[in-house]
Amino acid sequence: MTRITAARAALSRAVVSWWRHGQRLARGAALALACMAGLSAHAIERIEWALPELPPVFFYDSEGRPPTGPAQLGRGSGDGYLREIMLNAPGVRHEIVGMTYARAWAEMERGREICIPAVVKLDERSERAWYTPMSPPPPMTVVVRADRVREVLGDSAVASLAALLARPELTALVPAGRAFGPEINALLAQPDVQTRIERLRYSSSTQAAQMLMLGRVDYWMEWPHVAEWQMRNLPRRPPMTWRPVLEFAVDKHLYIACTRSAAGRKAIELIDQAIRQAAREPAYRNAAVNWYPPEIRESVAPRFKRFFDERSRKPMIE
């Protein structure tokens, strides 16, 4: 009987131990399911991107239609950045809507959940959007005809926009609806210089380069790769000269901005993580510089390398 009693006691202890272990497993499984549900609740399934037509940064197709998703992105520098970001954010549906920068900011102000690539961060927009650095900017440049360099720019290696705008005999050509940073925006907003500024809404045409070539304006302020692309597409390419704009801060970044909301925060965190991964790869690092004129490409190489090395190491959300 003693042996039977001992066996029963041992069996009882084993059953209790097995039951307690089962309870722990059940609680662990329930906790895991709860965590998965929490992750699912906080995950983002869709990002809507606003994309302007701005060759060679962003290309639309031959019929003027914007891409609708990552597979349709073109060969532009901004297209290259976006493609690598999307490849490093799997499981998210990326939808692209064609619109100008001006309209995109207006839509964001109205509360639309949207992300805008390749933007300059301005203080007046800081309450409207979350930001994460996408790339370093090229130098903003003033472009003039080579036969008028001495007349318009003199011998300086840089061009002061303030000094150029102060000369009443000169007319500037500036893209409409674009932000260039606080200092340049303030210079362009001066009431007494408005008659000396021609503002041109950008399209995929070469209209700006043609206006400069024909002498309808004296100088043109534009990203160097945008100006280079337009001039490449003229029937006859005229000799042109670039000068970096003195007032443009090259130590700043070009950003991706997403609506400043709970959903926008999730989107910007995912985009920031994707950029950190993409910034290690040549396809992302070289997306823009391959479009720059050779002299600009060489001058920005060390700065771009420093940016991408740092960008790959840590989160950057503002």
Mean pLDDT, rounded, for 199-206: 76
Q: Which residues pair with 27 in a beta bridge?
A: none
With a cut of 60, say whether residue 35 has pLDDT above it. Answer: no
In this prediction, residue 25 carries a pLDDT of 40
The b/e string for 208-238 (b: 16+ C-beta within 10 A; e otherwise) is bbebbbeeebbbbbbbbbbbbbbbeeeeeee
Name the band, by pLDDT with cuts 50, 70 and 90, for residue 13.
low
pLDDT at 29 over 50: no
Tens of pLDDT, residue by residue over 215-266, are: 999 999 999 889 988 988 888 888 999 899 999 987 789 999 999 999 999 9
pLDDT, tens digit, 9 for 90 and up, residues 93-123? 999 999 999 999 999 999 999 999 999 888 8
Residue 161 has what pLDDT?
97
pLDDT score recorded for residue 169: 97
Angle at 249 between CA 248 and CA 254, to 5 degrees: 100
CA dihedral 189, 191, 195, 201 (to 10 degrees): 30
The yes-or-no verdict on residue 12 having pLDDT over 80 is no
Q: At what angle do helices 77-87 and 262-278 cross, to 10 degrees?
A: 100
The pLDDT value recorded for residue 255 is: 97
Distance between CA atoms of residues 187 and 124, nearest Å: 16
| pLDDT tier at 166, thresholds 50, 70, 90 | very high
DSSP 289: G
- Angle subtended at Cα 254 by Cα 300 and Cα 48, rounded to the nearest 5 degrees: 140
The whole-number pLDDT of residue 202 equals 63
For the entire predicted model, the pTM comes to 0.76
Please list the residues that pair with 259 across neighbouring strands. Answer: 129
Q: What percent of the chain has pLDDT over 70?
A: 86
Higher pLDDT, 309 or 3: 309
Average pLDDT in the 52-70 region? 91
Cβ–Cβ under 8 Å, residues 172 and 196: yes
Domains of the chain: 46-137+251-311 (3.40.190.10), 141-244 (3.40.190.10)
Q: Which one is predicted more confidently, 68 or 316?
A: 316
Task: Answer with the residue of higher pLDDT: 90 or 27.
Answer: 90
Place of tokens 């700065």: 303
> Is the pLDDT assigned to residue 20 strictly greater than 80?
no
Mean pLDDT of 25-29: 40
pLDDT band at 203 (very low <50, low <70, confident <90, very high): low
Q: What is the DSSP letter of 245?
A: B
Higher-scoring residue by pLDDT: 317, 181: 317
Distance between CA 216 and CA 228 in Å, rounded? 19
Cα(67)–Cα(99) distance, integer angstroms: 11
Report pLDDT digits (tens) over 257-294: 999 999 999 999 999 999 999 999 999 999 998 888 78
Cβ-based neighbours of 169, under 8 Å, separated by 6 or more: none
Question: Would you say 136 and 304 are in contact if contact means Cβ atoms under 8 Å apart?
Answer: yes
Q: How far apart are CA 45 and CA 90, in angstroms?
A: 10
Mean pLDDT estimate for the chain: 86
Higher-confidence residue of 14 and 278: namely: 278
On the question of pLDDT at 56 being above 60, the answer is yes
DSSP assignments along 39-60, one per residue: HHHH---EEEEEE--BTTTB--
